Amino acid sequence: MTAAPLFPGFDGLMTLSRREGVDIRPTLLRVLTDLYVQASAHSSDEERQFVELTSRLIDQVDDATRAAVRARLSVYPATPAEIMDKLGLRRSHPAQIAPVASSIATAAPEAAPVKAPTEAQLRMASNLSMRPNDAAEISDMFFAAGASERALILHNLSDTPLKASARIPAARATRAIQILEMAAYAQDAESFALEIGEALILPARIATQVVNDPGGEPLACAARALDMPSAAFQRVLMFLNPEFGSSVNNVYRLSRLYDRLTERSALVMLAAWRGSTMAVTRAKYRPALYDDERNRARVTTPQTRPAVQPGSAPGIRTGTDGSKR
């Protein structure tokens, strides 16, 4: 039996990361590393999957991401030997469990100092738009992940260069929050989803999926995109679905997630939801080509026209006795 993947949907995102356009490989490497170091021990299959995926990503990411991952794994006692060698890590003593990073070589005096990126460069780096297929992959991965994986995804989205959706205008957001609270008090999930869709410009399918998700993390993203106050979000959790809101653990877990969730992470996820809709629409409707109608036309056998068309030659008049006149 094939072992379950260490992270659901990660193999699909590896294929996504090799496409042209947005480079999300640094985010993938950070997510994979964070998931791996959460557990104190791993099975042989999990270690093999981690080595296989991480080895492909380490050589393809920027220096800052590689340094962050190197620092994280240097203090993790169960870092695989292959990854230690690839990152230049070593153990200070054979009997010591935790790996120690090797000393950093001193830069040559003639080397030019590296300039920090300017504000304009950072702003340009954060304007990489997602293609519809990429957005669909991110959205599907988020909805298929568990609670801990969703929290990690949202945490890492704040550092990605992906372009976020524009903020919802303050007046529109304030009105939406009031309507959402009233719908939550009335336990009217249908009206709640309708308002979410109109306020965030989401189709009904995505809005319903966000509201009815059993984990609640998509609802937290939607509320953060509207800049809903934390107290209002807690009231929505308790009243919208009484069965869900009656659990103290559910409300406490999502309240902590909401307080830590950044506006940028929520707006990037909102952009992914909007982009995934375009991917579905493009797959459903194929653009027509200019010669489609001509290619579908029925081929008929050409008819031979007579040499002399009726009426083209003057008629010959004959007399009553048969002679020509």
Q: Mind listing the pLDDT tens digit for each residue in 7-34?
A: 555 555 555 555 555 577 788 888 888 8
Judged against a pLDDT cut of 90, whether residue 47 lies above it is answered with no
Q: Is residue 319 part of a domain?
A: no
Q: Is residue 232 part of a domain?
A: yes
Quote the pLDDT of residue 119: 45
- Label residue 110 by pLDDT band (50, 70, 90): low
Name residues whose C-beta falls within 8 Å of residue 49's C-beta, 6 or more positions apart in sequence. Answer: 3, 5, 6
Quote the pLDDT of residue 283: 46
Q: Is residue 216 part of a domain?
A: yes
Alpha-carbon separation of residue 131 from 40, 163, 258, 273, 282 (angstroms): 37, 11, 27, 12, 12
Determine which of 54-58, 59-63, 286-290 has the lowest per-residue pLDDT on average: 286-290
Look at the chain and report how many structural domains it folds into: 2
Domain end point (choices 48, 73, 102): 102
Domain carrying residue 210: 170-282
Among all chains, which residue has been given the structure tokens 């940028």? 264
Domain end point (choices 282, 301, 317): 282
Q: Is residue 196 part of a domain?
A: yes
Q: Is residue 322 part of a domain?
A: no
Q: Is residue 218 part of a domain?
A: yes
Quote the pLDDT of residue 30: 84
**Which whole number is the average pLDDT over 129-136?**
79
pTM (2 decimals)? 0.55
Measured in Å, how far apart are the chain's first and last C-alpha atoms? 103
Q: Is residue 144 part of a domain?
A: no
- Residue 88 backbone zone (phi > 0: left; psi -120 to 50: alpha; other: beta): left
Name residues whose C-beta falls within 8 Å of residue 91's C-beta, 6 or more positions apart in sequence. Answer: 98, 99, 100
Assigned token pair, 25: 């490989």
Domain end point (choices 70, 102, 134): 102
Q: Is residue 214 part of a domain?
A: yes
Quote the pLDDT of residue 280: 52
**Which whole number is the average pLDDT over 286-311?**
53
